[in-house]
Structure 1
């Protein structure tokens, strides 16, 4: 197991988290607990119930909720650093924690003052974990009116976090093709969590199917109304999603690099034609690690800048302009694109310098590549590069849309 070697090698300050941030310090403690069985849980899939319990006990689910509702009032920068810290060993828990914030934003951006007060205070008090089942690319659920309520039938795929959530943000389309969304308890009658996620990576995210069989939704559970205008602030959900994923990618790259370094120092053997007695004295090995760490540190700088841009844009609230949102979108797209490419490269190329014995199921080093590969496919790099090219050529920020 990778965890057996981590204490033998000195820390590398440039790769260490900023523990002066109390939220990151809590995440670093949890990461150690998550790391103990990260490989076996990745292989097993299913629900990380013990880890979610630790997450609730830490208070991290309420970190981002404002102090006005009893939460920690953490910045997006802190929250995304927590995501990155978890991803250094467990991309699934990083994803679950990051995506937990998307429905919370929906409540803030689209809910009434009464809804915000009720839901956010309850979330802090019970340390709710939020999930979603309203994938906008799959209009596979619908609802009809029955008395004073909506009755929802159908299903939604890619329902990340649904298998461990206390509250779900669900969605459907009405006859006019308008999207509606509502917040309901995850255990409401008629909600069926299929637990059918079968991805090669992110094995414990529960990103499978949720079915709705005559699920009743009251009007006061709706967020917004059909036909509500999409404002720059409400559309920032996409930027939050992309920010979470870029930090899952980056955390995976950093985690893979550290675990590979530890393995190389303690278990790798020099190649028979290298002419060195220690594998770490091989100039090829040194150069390869130098290349990988430079790319990882560059990706970190882009991620930090993107987080600052997100915080600045989010602070504008409903006054956020299209131009300011566009600036943040470009920074986040750049960081997301580069973090994905770096993570795929690092998590693949580490095997070259660790050696043949590293490529075993028991080591579990492949989880970093599988986690990143699974998510980068949802947002092809080709289209992000075109988006950035269009911005450079025309100066026009991207219009709010899915994945941008």
Structure 2
């Protein structure tokens, strides 16, 4: 995709973000399903932007898609998360699917503007399957937690373990009989992501819906999913920081009153406020630069496809870990410190400024910075890249 096309993609995202803005606070407080917003997302064509052109998609770069994630998060971290995670099962189809499956699933996704989601949490081995009675396909039972986006999805990636403990993955229509969306997500943040439980009650997965086999090797290209997750979330963190800074600045300019001992008539003239906003702005700009570098690395390695080497993947793992770590720290700092700059009257439920901190805090807990820093530290000391695994 050309730079001009990338610009059009971002312009579409900006317009959508502005439409999301008017009720972002109310929707965050209500939780539930952002049905109207998903409809707008489908109408925009953005859901097909990353799908390769040979299947009718836009062939957009990862950098362009992740900028859209960042743009949405300036207003709504939930929609940013749903849009970003939509691309993870699409990668699974490209990495594990055969020629027929790729043509079928991806072309139909473009045609129908499907939203994809995942209910295959790898840490929770809580679903299993048996071969169907006719020997064709599988029958899945159990459940999976943290199934982000399933409540509004058209297609769901599902996983289960066989008797040998090997993991199998398939993709099924969200309306497949036996799939029960529990709507039990009650996180303090990301309230419209539906990141709760999906229960499987004799759900049929046909053989042509199975992506790969349990014994297939975990190649560097197949193992990119954790890096893609990091890429999405780090841009949610940065977009949240940008949104907190935007809304904080506007409130400071229009509503904040100078402190009684500041010696200034306007809050914005207080040297403390000026210095602090400068500090937060600089940190956000630095986070964006690291994100752009990581996105460029991701695009570079992704182009290798199944020829991707372990070393190339390892280099990307470090770039993404660094960007993710810094984005998380900046997102938490900015979304917290901005309250001190706006003043006491800003801390109301009606203003909803707390949604930025809650959204960042919710997801940074899923990927502890301590262990990611150790991976980066090991690389800095020894040159050893992280071995492909969950969260790295």
Q: Secondary structure at the match of 1:324?
A: helix
- Establish whether residue 32 from structure 1 lines up as the match of residue 18 from structure 2: yes
Matched residues, number: 387
In the TM superposition, 1:133-144 aligns within 5 A as 133-144=119-130
Contact 1:279–1:285 (Cα < 8 Å) also in 2:
yes
Question: In the TM superposition, what are the counterparts of 1:324-363 in structure 2 within 5 Å?
Answer: 324-363=312-351
Question: SS at the partner of 1:21?
Answer: helix
* Cα pair 2:6 2:60 within 8 Å, conserved: no
Equivalent in 233, 241, 245 of residue 245 of structure 1: 233
Helix, strand or coil at the partner of 2:264: coil
Query: Could you tell me which residue of structure 1 aligns to residue 292 of structure 2?
Result: 304
Q: Does 1:170 align with 2:158?
A: yes
Aligned partners of 1:54 and 1:353: how far apart in 2? 35
State the Cα deviation string for residues 137-193 of structure 1 (Å, max 9, x = none). 000000011221211000000001100000000000000000000000001000000
1:65-86 deviation per Cα after TM superposition (whole angstroms, max 9, x unaligned): 0100000000000000000000
Tell me the equivalent position of 1:75.
61
1:230 Cα deviation after fit:
0.3
Alignment equivalent of 1:261, drawn from 240, 249, 259: 249
Q: Distance in 1 between matches of 2:209 and 2:186?
A: 31
Runs (5+) with no aligned partner, structure 2: none
The 5 A counterparts of 1:52-67 are 52-67=38-53
Per-residue CA deviations over 1:201-234 (Å, capped at 9, x if unaligned) read 0000010000000011111100000111000000
User: Cα RMSD (Å) of the superposition?
Assistant: 0.9
SS of residue paired to 2:168: strand
1:1-400 pair list within 5 angstroms: 21-146=7-132, 147=134, 148-400=136-388
Equivalent position of 1:14 in the other structure: none
**TM-score normalised according to structure 1 size:** 0.95
Secondary structure of 2:391 counterpart: coil
Q: Please, what TM-score do these two structures have when normalized by structure 2?
A: 0.98
Distance 1:237 1:23 in 2: 23
2:205 counterpart SS class? strand
1:20-51 Cα distance to aligned partner (Å, 9 max, x none):
61111100000000001000000000000000
1:369 CA drift (Å)? 0.2
Measured in 2, the distance between the counterparts of 1:348 and 1:164 equals: 30
Structure 1 runs not aligned, ≥5 long = 1-17
| Contact 1:19–1:25, Cα closer than 8 Å, also in 2 | no
| Cα deviation digits, residues 327-353 of structure 1 (max 9, x gap) | 001000000000000000000000011
